Amino acid sequence: MTPPARDTFARRCREAVEPVAYRIVWSPQALADVEAIAPYIASDSFTYAKAVVRTIVTSTRTLARFPRSGRKVPEFDDENTRELIAYSYRIIYIIEPDQVTVAAVIHGK
């Protein structure tokens, strides 16, 4: 009789389903949102507009390694639809099997 398989930490790690890093994809809508945000803010402050856009883009880079770092979007009952907050903007994204799609960037108020 063979002994039962041991549930070791190493075995669980080998059987992990999620990839090591996800590809980040921006939807046309999300790109259009950021392209509209920049000139709107720049009409008051070019420096602030640059900082906001940089923060939005930089925030999404962390999703490649930590896609579940954002909270679930309250309006949807879906574990894979999440959001990050950058300044007063909500970065809505969807976790897919091999990529994270940034779906929209909307004002939070």
Boundaries of domain holding 59: 20-107
Question: Does a structural domain hold residue 12?
Answer: no
Residue 89 lies in a domain: yes
What pLDDT shows up at residue 17?
A: 56
pLDDT computed for residue 20 by the predictor: 79
The answer to the question of residue 5 being in a domain is: no
Q: Is residue 4 part of a domain?
A: no
- CATH code, 100: 3.30.2310.20
DSSP string, 33-91: HHHHHHHHHHTT-HHHHHHHHHHHHHHHHGGGT-GGGSEEPTTS--TTEEEEEETTEEE
Q: What is the pLDDT of residue 1?
A: 58
Q: Is residue 6 part of a domain?
A: no
Q: Is residue 54 part of a domain?
A: yes
Q: What's the distance, Cα to Cα, between the start and end of the chain in Å?
A: 65
Average pLDDT by consecutive 10-residue portion of the chain (109 residues)?
A: 58 57 96 96 96 96 94 94 96 96 93
* Domain count within the chain: 1
Classify residue 9: in a domain, yes or no: no
* pLDDT at residue 102, as a whole number: 98
Q: What is the pTM of this model?
A: 0.80
